[in-house]
Amino acid sequence: MHRPTAQTATAVAALVGSSILWGLAWLPLKQIAGLGLEGLAVILVAYSALSMLAVPVVGMQRPRWRGRGVWLLGIALLGGYASLAFSLALIHGEVVRVMVLFYLLPAWGVLGGRLFLGETIDRVRWLAVILALTGAFLVLGGPAALDGRLSWTDLVALTSGLAFAGNNLLFRARQDIPVPSKTGAMIGGCAAIALLLVGLGAAPPPPYPTAAWPWAVLYGISWLLLANAGTQWGVTHLEAGRASIIIILELLTAVVSAVAIGAERLSPGEAVGGTLILAAAFIEARR
């Protein structure tokens, strides 16, 4: 009788801790960028270091996903892009704005579940979608958003959330593929996409040597490793509703820390829009 309780408590602690790490991820990213590794360079070094730990796990589990490699490729593309775009937006954009736009996940998740998995959308779920989209409209400036006045970081944040929702759909659709393999594919995909973009000239290669390299590597094999492992452990050992509610702590942590530490400010429209998106996330999580 005690073992499940202890396991649940451990899963809750792991998910709370990982959500806080994700919510504070902007701190090390911006600090490392300030040391000379900017944008794609930070992501390439950090995720390449983590890939050296994660990708071998995918290889070792090959007998368990053999014949379903195309699904892992989809996860690598969608999840890899989502991770890259999320980090890139945090480095260059306003933390609160990026996090709020990324958290349109409830809307994308509901619509994607209906289109690709045949899930039912009842009135409550439609309410969550409407709240999320209305919130995003306000965060982007209300009517000004219709004039095309969006920054590139806004678009990157929006597409990162959309890609991550697609990644989650693939995770749910292939329950027969081990979670470590799917997570490793996502991490390896992020490193591969970053390397491809650098190779195509979208950004200069990481300068070496610099004082930022060790910090980027450490961020990858400690912060990112703990955040990914804690999230996967938590969602695997908790009911989906409880896990989803805890994960909302990520958004709250990011907003509070950015305002308190990063000296960011919320406009009235952004505050109302963020509240609507938070409400949508809570409604969907409760389901």
Query: What string of DSSP letters covers 163-179?
Result: HHHHHHHHHHH-TTS-H
Give long-range contacts, CB 8 A cutoff, 24+ apart: 171-176.
171/75, 172/117, 173/71, 173/116, 173/117, 174/68, 174/71, 176/65, 176/68
Backbone angles phi, psi at 94, to 5 degrees: -80, 130
Amino acid, single-letter form, for residue 118: G
pLDDT digit string (tens) for the chain, length 287 residues: 445 567 788 888 888 899 899 999 999 999 998 888 878 999 999 999 999 999 999 999 999 999 899 999 999 999 999 999 999 999 998 888 888 888 776 677 677 777 776 777 788 878 888 888 888 778 777 766 556 667 889 889 989 988 888 888 888 788 888 989 999 999 999 999 999 999 998 888 888 778 899 999 999 999 999 998 888 888 777 776 677 777 778 888 888 898 888 878 877 887 888 888 888 877 776 66
Going by the DSSP 8-state scheme, the letter that residue 200 receives in this structure is T
Q: Cα torsion at 219, 28, 100, 198 (round to 10°)?
A: -70
Do 51 and 282 touch, CB atoms closer than 8 A?
no
Nearest residue to 232 via CA among 195, 181, 268: 181
Amino acid, single-letter form, for residue 88: L
What pLDDT is stored for residue 2 in this prediction?
44
What pLDDT is stored for residue 136 in this prediction?
79
Amino acid, single-letter form, for residue 220: G
What pLDDT is stored for residue 1 in this prediction?
43
Q: On the CB side of 70, how many CA atoms lie within 13 Å of its CA?
A: 1
What pLDDT is stored for residue 144 in this prediction?
63
Do 82 and 163 touch, CB atoms closer than 8 A?
yes
Quote the CA–CA distance of 16 and 248 in Å, as a whole number: 10
The helix (run of H) or strand (run of E) holding residue 91 is helix 69-92
Do 282 and 245 touch, CB atoms closer than 8 A?
yes
What pLDDT is stored for residue 10 in this prediction?
83
The token pair at 66 is 């053999």
What pLDDT is stored for residue 147 in this prediction?
61
Q: Which residues contact 77 (CB under 8 A, 6 or more apart)?
A: 189, 193
Amino acid, single-letter form, for residue 97: R
